[in-house]
Amino acid sequence: MIADARKDGEKLGLTEDELAFYDALSKPQAVRDFYENDQLVALTRELTDALRRNRKIDWQTRESARAEMRVMVKKLLNKYGYPPKETAGAVETVIEQCELWADQADMANDATV
């Protein structure tokens, strides 16, 4: 299953981080029907880059930092015309994915210390 996901990511030209967000954004079938794959890939890349640039050390624990992340994600989804009915779910899924992403980065940092 992981190998299949990696192959899918390679076909789309996405990194592992980007693929995780691509999967989060394209989870609802309505979204897959709404976008062409290249649009979802562009949205995913911009989202991942924005999250990487704006990732705060304490965003997981501070509600104000989480609120900033939610606003940033919503603006980006609106920019790409993400279906309004799916936006709330996508924002929550992206935030959950960010938490996993941050946890993995923290574990990697702890391992190198």
Instruction: Please list the ranges in the chain whose pLDDT falls under 50.
Output: 1-2, 107, 109-110, 113
Domain that holds residue 24: 2-112
For residue 47, give every residue at least 6 positions away whose Cβ sits within 8 Å of its Cβ, in sequence order, or none. 21, 25, 73, 76, 94
pLDDT above 70 coverage of the chain, percent: 75
- What pLDDT is recorded for position 79? 93
Q: How many domains does the chain have?
A: 1
State the residue for tokens 């936006």.
Answer: 87
